[in-house]
């Protein structure tokens, strides 16, 4: 690994890149000859960046063996040339131009004529070898190869100029010997490169047949990443949530033991041990394997309630226009028992709007939730049918005529049924889906405020590693969030229950689903959950989403228990937070980079500077 001093010498000889790399002092640097605001913050020289040690960069290295081979070649050529040169010619003073040789240390004094008079042909050659090898006692890296002054090659060139044709045939012999010497090594190196390329091709082929790549091919094949139900309630025309009837729910599970996920060491006092259960890890012999499960928190469809539900004929607590409300009974849903709800990981249900990170035009991109809904005429027919039949069943939708248009870039959510290549609505006439977030679309301006496509990063709120209570707001590469769903929360989302920012300086961020674990969750019992929501400070949440071992998601909302939301300060709003958005040459998230390193005792206290 190169040192900073070696990097500085390399820059003097033309080295310049626009990518950071690690050096021996354990700092990330970028060598710059010319000033460029997009490379090295416009500085020149060895520009350093105090990146965290876990950040992945390339490494600047040097190879001393290359220089040693070059110096051996120079030394051999000098010896052979001197052997055919008479001592009288060596004593002749030279006035010819000096040649350039490779060296890394100051040149030694030029040999005097007196020393040549006392040496024979053989001893002269030996002295020259010592002089040449002496100039390279510590081989430098090839990045730092330099040309020497004229004194180093003075005697050698004098002999070469006066030796005539006999010297030419003698000097060609070492070149042939070198080619013969290194020819087998070159062949071996080429074979090694070929084998590495073949191994890489095999690995890519295996990767394409498994995991993430496979889900891009077909909606049915993608479910190894997906939970069969959805944490995000679908939104009505006015942004109100639609309750989920138990008759809607059908469990379609598809398991895979091929998915490999990294354990990021998320630490929570009561949830850390159970969190380990939700990662499928391929291990070598002798290493304990974790139970298999699909990725935490990827939400594509509705989530069933942990209790069986019923309809109560009284105005809804969730929406003013609804004359009834769906409430939970005290009977645990058999589905929840089937998927071992008592050993599941309890996470906080977030009150925002659902987002999704997946590819768009070949790059990781943020997508907003957009459900395809019936037009006015179809909606009227549907409501008449409901009133007459007291049911949604047996109503026929015309897929081509009954629905509002959606953008060409719209895609249906995973697990949406298809008929003749067309996505089909659920029994309420809704087809959940996604639309890419573009900076030019004002409808999704708050989505766009948390993503920077030039920097390929998103603004994320998540727990700090090593501190179970502290949160952090940081910029995360979109590639690291790919195929995850997240909740957009903030000033202008769902009446801002978390009290973030203000109208003049709005604050928005993305929270990965399943990332906020519930500390000391109550048992799955109606009365104990009701008591926890009402009396515990940890119970100031919109609800709980349980992540079961087989990938099933199950939830309970405060409204299921007849409780108000929000009711006081939410638990998330009162947790401490630190801002970790470093200043970047591209200037992404400038309002947060100004606050880099600052801590706030409560999330709701974060205020951006005007």
Q: Could you tell me the pLDDT band of residue 507, with boundaries at 50, 70 and 90? A: very high
**pLDDT mean across residues, the chain:** 71
**Residue of higher predicted confidence among 59 and 541:** 541
Residue 28 is part of a domain; what is its CATH number?
3.10.100.10
Q: Could you tell me the pLDDT band of residue 72, with boundaries at 50, 70 and 90? A: low
Helical ranges in 321-375 per DSSP H: 334-338
Residues 36 and 69 in one domain: no
Which of 208-217, 388-397, 449-458 is the least confident region? 208-217
Taking residue 464's Cβ as centre, other Cβ atoms within 10 Å add up to 17
**Residue of higher predicted confidence among 96 and 577:** 577
Residues 20 and 85 in one domain: no
**Contact assessment for residue 299 and residue 232, using Cβ atoms and an 8 Å cutoff:** yes
In a domain, 21, yes or no: yes
In a domain, 120, yes or no: yes
Q: Which letter does DSSP use for residue 333 in this model?
A: P
DSSP letters along 278-318, please? G------TTSPPPPP-PPTT---S---BSEEEEEESS--SS
- Residue 586: predicted pLDDT: 64
CA distance 96 to 162: 11
Q: Hunting for tokens 């490379």 — which residue is that?
A: 39
In a domain, 169, yes or no: yes
Domain boundary among 44, 59, 74: 59
Domain boundary among 59, 76, 92: 59
In a domain, 540, yes or no: no
Residues 49 and 132 in one domain: no
Taking residue 49's Cβ as centre, other Cβ atoms within 10 Å add up to 15
- Residue 148: predicted pLDDT: 36
Q: Where is mean pLDDT largest: 382-391, 406-415, 523-532? A: 523-532
Strand partners, 171: none
**Residue of higher predicted confidence among 502 and 130:** 502
Mean pLDDT throughout 177-189? 80
Residues 42 and 72 in one domain: no
Residues 171 and 68 in one domain: yes
Residues 29 and 109 in one domain: no
**Tens of pLDDT, residues 6-24:** 888 888 888 888 877 888 8
- Residue 588: predicted pLDDT: 78
Q: Could you tell me the pLDDT band of residue 63, with boundaries at 50, 70 and 90? A: low
Which of 78-82, 118-122, 549-553 is the least confident region? 118-122
For 451, the enclosing helix (H) or strand (E) is strand 451-452
Helix %, strand %, coil % of the chain (to 5)? 30, 20, 50
In a domain, 17, yes or no: yes
Share of the chain above pLDDT 90, in %: 37
Domain boundary among 137, 156, 175: 175
Which of 235-244, 458-467, 555-564 is the least confident region? 235-244
Residues 81 and 51 in one domain: no
- Give exposure, 31-45, as e/b (b: 16+ Cβ within 10 Å): bbeeebeebbeeeee
Is the peptide bond prior to 284 cis by the omega test (within 30 degrees of 0)? Answer: no
Q: Where is mean pLDDT largest: 86-90, 313-317, 480-484? A: 480-484
Strand partners, 102: 147
In a domain, 28, yes or no: yes
**Contact assessment for residue 304 and residue 246, using Cβ atoms and an 8 Å cutoff:** yes
> Does residue 287 carry a pLDDT above 50?
no
Range of 159's domain?
64-175
Residues 36 and 125 in one domain: no
Residues 93 and 156 in one domain: yes
> Does residue 102 carry a pLDDT above 80?
no
CA distance 6 to 4: 5
In a domain, 39, yes or no: yes
Closest CA to 479 of 461, 444, 449, 453: 453
Residues 112 and 47 in one domain: no
**Tens of pLDDT, residues 464-495:** 988 888 999 999 999 999 999 999 999 999 99
Q: How many structural domains comprise the chain?
A: 2
- Residue 319: predicted pLDDT: 56
- Residue 288: predicted pLDDT: 32
> Does residue 403 carry a pLDDT above 80?
yes
In a domain, 97, yes or no: yes
- Residue 437: predicted pLDDT: 98
Mean pLDDT throughout 137-148? 40
Strand duo 599-600 + 577-580: pairing: antiparallel
Residues 111 and 156 in one domain: yes
Residues 53 and 135 in one domain: no
Distances (CA, A) of 130 to 43, 88, 125, 127, 246: 43, 21, 9, 5, 90
Strand partners, 58: 21
**Both tokens assigned to 542:** 């919109």
Instruction: Show the 3-state SS of 97-118.
Output: CCCCCEECCCCCCCCCHHHHHC
CA distance 475 to 486: 14
> Does residue 399 carry a pLDDT above 90?
no
**Residue of higher predicted confidence among 570 and 220:** 570
Closest CA to 251 of 324, 183, 177, 337: 337
- Residue 266: predicted pLDDT: 31
Taking residue 214's Cβ as centre, other Cβ atoms within 10 Å add up to 18
């Amino acid at each position: 690994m190169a040192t900073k001093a070696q990097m500085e010498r390399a820059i003097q000889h033309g080295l310049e890149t626009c990518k950071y790399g690690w050096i021996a002092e354990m700092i990330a640097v970028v060598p710059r000859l010319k000033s460029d605001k997009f490379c090295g913050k416009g500085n020149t020289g060895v520009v350093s960046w105090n990146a965290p040690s876990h950040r992945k960069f390339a490494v600047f290295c040097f190879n001393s063996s290359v220089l040693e081979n070059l110096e051996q070649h120079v030394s051999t050529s000098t010896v052979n040339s001197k052997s055919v040169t008479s001592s009288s010619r060596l004593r002749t003073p030279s006035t010819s131009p000096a040649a350039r040789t490779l060296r890394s240390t100051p040149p030694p004094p030029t040999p005097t004529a007196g020393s040549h008079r006392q040496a024979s042909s053989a001893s002269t050659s030996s002295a020259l070898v010592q002089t040449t090898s002496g100039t390279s006692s510590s081989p430098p890296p090839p990045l730092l190869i330099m040309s020497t002054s004229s004194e180093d090659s003075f005697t050698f060139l004098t002999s070469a100029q006066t030796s005539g044709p006999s010297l030419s045939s003698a000097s060609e012999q070492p070149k042939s010997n070198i080619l013969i010497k290194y020819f087998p090594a070159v062949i071996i190196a080429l074979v090694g490169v070929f084998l590495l390329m073949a191994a890489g091709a095999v690995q890519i082929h295996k990767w394409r047949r498994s995991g993430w790549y496979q889900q891009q091919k077909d909606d049915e094949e993608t479910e190894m990443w997906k939970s069969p139900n959805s944490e995000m309630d679908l939104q009505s025309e006015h942004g109100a949530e639609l309750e989920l009837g138990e008759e809607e729910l059908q469990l379609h599970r598809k398991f895979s033991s091929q998915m490999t996920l990294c354990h990021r060491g998320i630490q929570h006092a009561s949830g850390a041990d159970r969190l380990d259960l939700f990662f499928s890890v391929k291990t070598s012999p002798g290493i304990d394997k974790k139970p298999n499960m699909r990725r935490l928190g990827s939400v594509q469809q509705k989530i069933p309630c942990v209790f069986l539900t019923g309809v109560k004929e009284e105005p809804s607590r969730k929406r003013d226009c609804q004359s009834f409300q769906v409430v939970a009974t005290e009977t645990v849903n058999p589905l929840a028992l089937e998927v071992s709800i008592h050993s599941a990981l309890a996470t906080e249900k977030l009150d925002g709007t659902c987002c999704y990170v997946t590819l768009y035009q070949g790059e990781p991109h943020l997508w907003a939730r957009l459900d395809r809904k019936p037009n006015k005429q179809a909606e009227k027919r549907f409501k008449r049918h409901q009133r007459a039949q007291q049911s949604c069943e047996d109503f026929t939708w015309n897929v081509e005529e009954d629905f509002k248009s959606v953008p060409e870039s719209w895609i249906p959510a995973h697990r949406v049924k298809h008929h003749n290549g067309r996505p089909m609505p659920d029994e309420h006439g809704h087809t959940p889906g996604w639309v890419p977030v573009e900076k030019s679309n004002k409808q999704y301006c708050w989505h766009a405020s948390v993503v920077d496509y030039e920097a390929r990063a998103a603004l994320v709120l998540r727990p700090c590693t090593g501190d179970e209570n502290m949160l952090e707001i940081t910029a995360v590469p979109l590639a690291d969030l790919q195929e995850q769903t997240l909740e957009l929360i903030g000033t202008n989302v769902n009446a801002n229950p978390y009290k973030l920012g203000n109208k003049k300086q709005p604050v928005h961020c993305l929270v990965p689903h399943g990332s906020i674990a519930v500390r000391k969750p109550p048992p799955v019992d109606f009365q104990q959950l009701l008591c926890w929501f009402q009396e515990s400070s940890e119970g100031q949440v919109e609800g709980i989403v349980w992540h079961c071992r087989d990938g099933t998601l199950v939830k309970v909302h405060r409204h299921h228990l007849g409780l108000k939301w929000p009711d006081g300060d939410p638990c998330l709003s009162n947790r401490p937070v630190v801002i970790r958005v470093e200043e970047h040459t591209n200037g992404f998230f400038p309002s947060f980079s100004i606050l880099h390193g600052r801590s706030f005792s409560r999330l709701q206290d974060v205020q951006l500077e005007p």
